[in-house]
Amino acid sequence: MRVVVVGAGVIGVTTAYYLSRVGCEVTVVDRAATVADAASRANGGQLSYSFTDALAKPGFIAQIPALLAGRNPGSRVQLAPDFLPWGLRFLAQCTKGRARDNTLVVLKIAMRSARLMDEIRRNLPFDFSHRSAGKLVLLSSDDELRSAEASSRLKNSHGCATEILTAEEAIRLEESLDALSNTFTGAVYSRNDEVADARLFTEGMQTWLEQTGSAKFILGASVDDIQTKQNRVQSVVIGNQELEADAIVVCAGAWSSKLLRPLGIDPHIYPVRGYSVTLPQGERSPLVSVTALKQRIVFSRINGSMRIAGFADFTGFSTADDRQRIGMLVDVARSFAPLAADYTAGEQQPWGGFRPMTPDGRPRTGKTRVDGLFLNTGHGMLGWTLACASGYDVAQAVTKSLH
């Protein structure tokens, strides 16, 4: 069974791994010259299995005036024509019931992903800086605390272990928090969350797949079209070449919609730009993975360095303001946690990437109305967290449909 996977980020390469395990002949195609070139390259590094809270929720409505006025440094919104239909769908999800359902759907995927990641770590022989760090989400107001308490009760009732800590308890757990310049009200803690390098994972997986003959990679080759006949996939077009396939899995992240649009399929994905900078550790770098909720930034110790990531810009595919936004990210992080990293270091590694967001926060996985065409995209900010489970699920769907 010949399967073409379009996209060589962490989602695409993990999908290729699970397809190879069920006996498929797999080819991975990507326009970039290397794997993990886009959203997987330098994300926050957090495997946030316990923190799948829907972005679309009732509390978001109150933030809209500040977002539109540009008063929230952690997010920017541009009311462009291509954003408006997506934005209206997003607002329709901002109800208590839908936020609850969306949170739980993604939570169940994440919890399965954690178990599958454990299997990969036991069975595959490459290192990707995995660490069982635990995670603290810092809360800065009573409203955030009340919302976190309700979310924690909901998730704990479905088998996810999180707990609410006072600020003093959080500092006892992670002593570097007493060096923060901002006070915080409390924190949500999950001891089961992890950190790891998505780029190293994707590169290691590529090497293993190629060395074992489990998959082929065609890199630096853009997929221009998906050919169909009588509502069934036939091939992908790469320049003047056609690559025939029994099944095609689109794992193209924020670019998935462009590829699917000629087939009449709209996964309702919008590119949300996020940023990171990797710096040397500071005098008080946290061991625990830390998220500052109000500031929209995360701190993760990876590969002996401090990865600071965050922000969410709804400005289309523009990269024009990357330098300014990364500078602002560093400024916010330095102001909030001045000793977490060496902010004056010359060897800063900046990055910006587009996260493929859906209005309801759920990834788009599984078969489509075109026979043999499958999706594994739309993971938003949780691609690294959900990669194993969604890759496994799509591989199962492919084999089920073709047998």
pLDDT at position 104 over 90: yes
317-336 average pLDDT score: 96
Q: Is the pLDDT of residue 313 over 90?
A: yes
Q: Average pLDDT in the 282-301 region?
A: 96
pLDDT, tens only, 351-393: 999 999 999 999 999 999 999 999 999 999 999 999 999 999 9
pLDDT at position 343, please? 96
CA distance 29 to 232: 20
pTM of the model: 0.97
Among candidates 164, 43, 36, 56, which has minimal Cα distance to 106? 56
Q: pLDDT value at position 339? A: 97
Range of the domain at 136: 2-402
CB distance 299 to 33 below 8 Å = no
Number of neighbours of residue 91 by Cβ within 10 angstroms? 14
pLDDT given at position 64: 86
pLDDT at 2 over 80: yes
Summarize the confidence of residues 128-150 as an average pLDDT: 96
- Mean local confidence (pLDDT), 33-41: 97
Residue 402 has pLDDT above 80, yes or no: no
Domain count for the chain:
1
Considering the chain, what percentage of its residues have pLDDT values greater than 90? Answer: 92
pLDDT digits (tens, 9 = 90+) for 222-263: 999 999 999 999 999 998 899 999 999 999 999 999 999 999
Mean pLDDT of 159-173: 97
Residue 241 belongs to a domain with what CATH number? 3.50.50.60
- The tokens for 221 are 């080759």
Contacts of 62 (CB under 8 A, 6+ apart): none
pLDDT for position 346: 82
- Report whether 22 contacts 266 (CB < 8 A): no
Assess whether pLDDT exceeds 80 at residue 403: no
